[in-house]
Amino acid sequence: MDLELTAEQRLLRDTIRKFVNEQIRPVAREWEAEGRYPDEIAATMAELGLFGLCVPEEFGGMAADMVSLAVVFEEIARGWMGVAGIIGSHSLSCWMIAKYGTSEQRSRFLPELATGERRSGIALTEPGAGSDLQGIATTARRDGDHYLLNGRKTWITNARHANPLPVLVKTDPAARPAHAGMSVFLVEAGTPGFEVVRDLPKLGYRGPETCELVLDDVRVPAGALLGGTEGRGLQQVLAALETGRINIAARAVGVAQEAFDQALRYAGEREAFGQKISGFQAVQLKLADMAIKLQAARLLTYWAAARLDAGHRADLESGMAKVYASEVALGCAVDAMQVHGGYGYSREFTVERLYRDAPLMVIGEGTNDILRTVIARSLTSGRGTVG
């Protein structure tokens, strides 16, 4: 068992780290506070090929392995977690199109998605359906050579930049079980009836837009049905979410690493009662616990990614990684704030932003409570084992 990154993965990590240190860190606090969209950062990510992480090489992409993907998202999230969202759901969408798209869909969309000329996201959640995807109400009704889409989606990252945007719908609302009547359509920007109605205000995760959108008799050609066959949408989405949870787990590791780094640095600088606070046992215990949990979360994330790279089903492993890493990120953010004392509550210090960003990973890509049931079902059904 090799727990070390390959030479290529280390080179990728160092390249992304240099980019983050030079172009993201210097502006993160100011731009995040302003709610500014980081266009310049997105442009550099396109130059680095990061929009093509999950695009096959034949279409101009990087075809990155899952461990490399985790490395990229960890490094970007260390600098500014919100920026990772620009390529997060985009990468998930690219993976779905590459895996399940028709030849025409792949050749039409993937080359421009790889360069960032096109961007994407994924529209799953609705006002009345979050983790319960089978409870969605958005429908697609066949009308000759087209479908008419109607419904409402919310909490959609990259909604204003996505073209196309994969949208999960019910093509047969009466189907039982419900997943047998669910499909994904690739909806292109500018299609009449497709409207982004508002940007949602957020505690953290600033930078990319997170929106609510409406589909009102959106007429799309039958060729927009992902894969060309109805009834496979939920299967396609759930498979993609395995890679999405690697993305979220890696972002959580990045946030936890930054929280630890900030706490360690501050503890070595701050003096109280005539000595550095790093000399106080209470602070030392916090730092030790943060380091232990951080490294465990990283290894769990890389392990889950490696399982996917080996061609195994990884709903158990990616679920474990996402749950554990996200809760470590949340805990490290709180601990880092406590190490900073009152300064940790100030917007002048990075830990305040980490404290606001960390909860998203606990909620996003399936809440941790839901994922715990997924993990348990995998174990009790015999599909997954531990040890």
Indicate which residues carry an active-site annotation: 365
List alpha helices for the chain, DSSP H: 7-19, 25-34, 39-47, 66-79, 81-100, 103-115, 233-269, 281-309, 315-340, 350-363, 368-381
Structural contact between residues 167 and 120, judged by C-beta atoms closer than 8 angstroms: no
Tell me phi and psi for residue 217, to 5 degrees: 50, 45
Write the DSSP string, 15-74.
HHHHHIIIIIHHHHHHHHHHT---HHHHHHHHHTTGGGTTS-GGGT-----HHHHHHHHH
Give burial (CB, 10 Å; 0-12/13-18/19+) of 176: exposed
Q: Which residues contact 235 (CB under 8 A, 6 or more apart)?
A: 179
Would you call 121 helix, strand, or coil by DSSP?
coil
Tokens describing residue 204: 């953290």
In DSSP terms, 213 is beta-bridged to 153, 196
| Distance from C-alpha of 110 to C-alpha of 104, rounded to nearest angstrom | 10
Under a CB-based contact definition with an 8 Å cutoff, are residues 252 and 329 in contact?
A: yes
Beta strands 271-272 and 275-276 are antiparallel
b/e per residue 122-133 (b: at least 16 CB within 10 A): bbbbbeebbbeb
Q: How far apart are CA 206 and CA 198, in angstroms?
A: 15
